[in-house]
Each structure stands twice: as C-alpha cells, then as structure tokens.
C-alpha cells in the first residue's frame, strides 16, 4: 500500500468497532509523521475518536473520559490499564466527538492530556476555545499538564499508572489552565510582565458570565499579582474589576475584520437560499428557523426571491422550482440569480456538501446582523437618557444593551465554531490527509 509507505500501519475503528480507515506512523524522520486514510463516506476524521470502541465501558464505569494526542498514547495507556483513553485523529476536538463522550459519562467529565510541545499546546488551546461554549452549559472540562513536559507513555513508565491516574483526577478546570498560561514565564515584579498579565487577565475574566465564578478567579489573580501583599491585592482587585466592568459594558470588541461583513452576510443569504431550493428536506427547518428568530433577508434581490418562494410554498410546495421559474420569467435579474442558485459550480458547491453545517452558519450570521443593529439602537437610547439625567430609563436601556451583547457573543461563538469545519471542506478534496 504505497499510500502508507515506510509507516507502521494501525487500523482505525468507529465507535461500533468496525474498521473504517488506517493510520500510519512514519519510521525515522519521514514526514508527515502521522498519516490517515483519505476521508470517505464511512470515514470522517472529525467524527472518529481512536480507541473509543474499546474505551466505552471504561469511560462509563470511571465516569470520566481521557482525551490524549495520538494513537500510541492511547495504546500505552490501555496497556497500563487506563482504558478510558481515546485520541483525536489530528483534528481539533469537535462537537460530534464531545457529544459521543458526554453520553458515556453521567457527570460529563472530560480530561484533556495533550503533549506539552508547541503542537500539543495549540491542540489544547483549540479544544479550550470550544470548551468555552460548553462552559455556558455548566460543563467544565479539565486539562492535565504532566510535569517536566512528559507525554503519558513516558510518565507512566517512570511513575506508574496509579500516579498518572491521581494526576488526571486532580487536573484543574480549563479556566485554571488558562490562568496558568497567563502567568507562565512571567515575573509580576517587572512592570512589563505585570502589565501583560493584567491585560490578559481582564480579557479572560470578561468572558466569564457567572458573577460568582468571575469573582472567585478575580480574587485569585489579584492575589498572585500582589505577590502576597494583602493591601496591594485589594487595590489590584478593585482596579481589575473597574477594567472588566468597562470592557463588559463597552460592547463587543471592535477588531479589524478580514472579511467585509456585507459580503459575509450576502454569502450567508445566498447559501441559505441555495440549500432551500436544491435540498427539499431542509426546507421545513429553514422556514421554522426564520420564523422562530424573526429573521429577514437583507438584500433586495433576496427579498424579492423569498417573497416569490413564500407564495409558491403556500400554493404549490411540491412544484417549487418550476413555479418559481415560471413566475419570474419577466424579471431578468432575478431569473439570472436563480439560475446561479440552481447551477452547482466549483464556486458555490460548498453549501450542498455540508448543508446542515452551512445552514446553521448562515442563520447565525443573519441573526448576528439583526442583533448588531439592535445593539446600536439601544446604545443610542441609553446615551440620550443618560445625557438627560433619566436614570430609570438609562438603566432599562443598559439592561437591553447587556442582553444584546450576550446574544452577539453567543452568535459570534456559533459562527466561529463552524469556521474550522467550513475550512476543512476544501481539505476533503485532497488525495491525502496528514496531521
């Protein structure tokens, strides 16, 4: 099998124990170090956890899942009797994989133990970014960092499986891992390091919506910045609190966007219409989502088409495409546009490759546009009420601003969660998959 030349070959099983692909580990320094079979109808890397078929019962019994970085970490841990270990296949830990694990552990405990090298740090960070969404649901994954940067296999060989399990059980929640990263290699007695840690801490604490949890970590961080000086710690805590309050009420951080938001919204609406016209089984979901969230199309051509589509759906839903084409025969621009929607080219095929994913992203982007408009609306009202001394009205508008801000953050997270998945669509067309 030339695809895996000069590699140790391992079978990859799905959760039911069926072989769906193979993974190869290079001998020597050949690159890439790890190589998977190309993706297929039965093999999607983002939906497979290596070793899950053999770890399911152990995860349920121990009531926690251990996610490590590679095949051989899983094999070593299983050989040592730690059979609740699984691994991703070179991708970030994603929604489908997490849901598989959460079904097996009643207390919803997931422990990450990726390598301490640069690649492992990046993998952990990607997973932690996703865990921010889970944190809103009360799920608090943990991150295990092995001392001296050792991997699980090396640590167990020198210290034994029981010591490793003790470390795993004591692994801190992911927020504490982030805090440790903020302080790592920093000397808070130096002005530059103190400023950097303070700035990073404010960003981290601002994201915590639970006030009790935020206060807990705020107190801890202020104490560390004060280096044991209690009076200074109180002053630092109050200063951090002011900066957090200022950032939370200033609205979403305005950072330069690589993509024009108008083009982004245009693409979202185009793809949603494309799915609606080409894939009938998604029409009910789209109609329901648009109605439930009170969403409307922003661009005139899209609004005209949707009005026409809505009329046909009420009168002859089984004849949607021919009826739409017949009724727009005198509308040249709309006719050309619908032709582009129905004609699947190399440029617009992406929406039809993963319609469920693209549909969610499109709806989230449409909702984000409305929320941002409402946010600006409430901000203007607040500024007017505040300037006129109308305290009660200002407090009401401030509450509306806060609610809208939370919605915007949630929608931004939902959009962000799809970005890696959307980008992976292009990679699926490649003949080889490496990690």
* Chosen domain end from 118, 141, 173: 173
Q: Does residue 363 share a domain with residue 278?
A: yes
Please tell me the predicted confidence (pLDDT) of residue 428: 47
Same domain, 270 and 238: no
Q: What is the pLDDT of residues 384-423, one digit of tens each?
A: 877 787 888 888 888 888 888 888 888 887 776 655 555 5
Mark whether 220 and 349 lie in a shared domain. no
Higher pLDDT among residues 77 and 25, named by residue: 77
Asked whether 114 and 81 are in contact (CB, 8 A), the reply is: no
pLDDT at 139: 63
**pLDDT: is 429 or 210 the higher one?**
210
3-state DSSP assignment of residue 387:
helix
CA distance 196 to 121: 20
Tokens of 59: 């995860």
Q: Does 49 share its domain with 143?
A: yes
Mean of pLDDT over the chain = 80
pLDDT category at 431 given cuts 50, 70, 90 is very low
Identify any residues that bridge with 143 across adjacent strands, giving them in sequence order.
Answer: 112
Last residue of a domain, one of 133, 150, 173: 173
DSSP letter, residue 170: T
Quote the percentage of the chain above a pLDDT of 70. 80
397/296 same-domain check:
yes
Asked if residue 241 is part of any domain, the answer here is yes
Tokens standing for residue 32: 């890439």
Please indicate whether residue 22 or residue 5 has the higher confidence score (pLDDT).
22
Number of structural domains, the chain? Answer: 3
Q: Please say which residue of 173, 202, 224 terminates a domain.
A: 173
Is the pLDDT assigned to residue 127 strictly greater than 60?
A: yes
Q: How many CA atoms lie within 13 A of 184 on its CB side?
A: 8
Range of the structural domain that residue 126 is part of: 2-173
At 48 the three-state DSSP class reads: coil
CATH number of the structural domain spanning residue 137: 3.40.1360.10
Return the higher-pLDDT residue of 16 and 349: 16
Q: What is the mean pLDDT of residues 235-263?
A: 68
Residues 72, 29 share a domain: yes
264 and 365 Cβ atoms separated by less than 8 Å: yes
Domain check: are 12 and 81 in the same one?
yes
As to burial, measured by CB atoms within 10 angstroms (0-12 exposed, 13-18 middle, 19+ buried), residue 152 is buried
Is the pLDDT at 131 greater than 90? The verdict is no
Per residue in 300-312, pLDDT tens? 888 888 998 999 8
Q: 132 and 231 share a domain?
A: no
For the cut 60, the answer to whether the pLDDT of residue 144 exceeds it is yes
Q: Which three-class secondary structure state does DSSP give residue 304?
A: helix
Percent of the chain as helix, strand, coil, to the nearest 5: 65, 10, 30
Query: Does residue 345 surpass a pLDDT of 70?
Result: no
Residue keyed to tokens 């951090």: 240
pLDDT given at position 221:
92
């Amino acid at each position: 099998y030339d695809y895996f030349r000069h590699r140790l070959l391992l079978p990859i099983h799905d959760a039911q124990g069926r072989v769906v692909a193979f993974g190869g580990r290079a001998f020597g320094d050949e690159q890439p170090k790890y190589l998977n079979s190309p993706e297929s109808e039965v093999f999607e890397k983002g939906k497979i956890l290596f070793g899950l078929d053999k770890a399911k019962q152990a995860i349920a019994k121990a009531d926690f899942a251990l996610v490590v970085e590679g095949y051989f970490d899983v094999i070593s841990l299983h050989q040592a009797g730690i059979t609740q270990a699984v691994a991703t296949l070179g991708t970030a830990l994603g929604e489908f994989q997490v849901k598989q694990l959460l079904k097996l552990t009643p207390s919803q405990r997931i422990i990450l133990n990726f390598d301490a090298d640069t690649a492992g740090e990046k993998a952990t960070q990607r997973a932690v970014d996703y865990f921010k969404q889970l944190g809103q649901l009360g799920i608090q994954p943990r991150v295990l960092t092995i001392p001296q940067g050792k991997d699980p296999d090396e640590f167990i060989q020198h210290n034994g499986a029981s010591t490793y399990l003790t470390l795993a059980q004591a692994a801190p929640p992911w927020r504490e891992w982030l805090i440790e990263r903020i302080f790592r290699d920093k000397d808070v007695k130096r002005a530059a390091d103190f400023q950097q840690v303070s700035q990073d801490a404010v960003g981290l604490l601002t994201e915590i919506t639970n006030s009790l949890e935020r206060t807990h970590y705020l107190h801890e961080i202020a104490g560390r910045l004060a280096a044991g000086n209690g009076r200074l710690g109180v002053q630092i805590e109050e200063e951090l609190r002011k900066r957090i309050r200022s950032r939370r009420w200033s609205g979403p951080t305005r950072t330069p966007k690589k993509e024009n938001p108008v083009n982004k919204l245009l693409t979202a609406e185009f793809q949603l219409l494309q799915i609606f016209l080409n894939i009938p089984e998604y029409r009910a979901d789209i109609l329901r989502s648009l109605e439930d969230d009170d969403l409307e199309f922003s661009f005139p051509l899209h609004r005209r088409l949707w009005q026409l589509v809505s009329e046909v759906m009420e009168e002859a839903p089984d004849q949607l495409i021919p009826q739409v084409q017949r009724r727009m025969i005198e509308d040249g621009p709309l006719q050309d546009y619908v032709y582009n929607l129905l004609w699947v080219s190399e440029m617009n095929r992406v929406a039809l490759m993963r319609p469920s994913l693209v549909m969610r992203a499109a709806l989230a982007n449409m909702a984000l546009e409305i929320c941002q408009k409402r946010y600006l609306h409430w901000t203007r009202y607040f500024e007017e009420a505040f300037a006129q001394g109308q305290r009660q009205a200002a407090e009401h508008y401030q509450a509306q601003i806060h609610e809208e801000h939370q919605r915007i953050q949630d929608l931004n997270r939902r959009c962000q969660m799809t970005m890696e998945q959307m980008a992976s669509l292009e990679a699926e067309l490649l003949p080889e998959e490496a990690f």
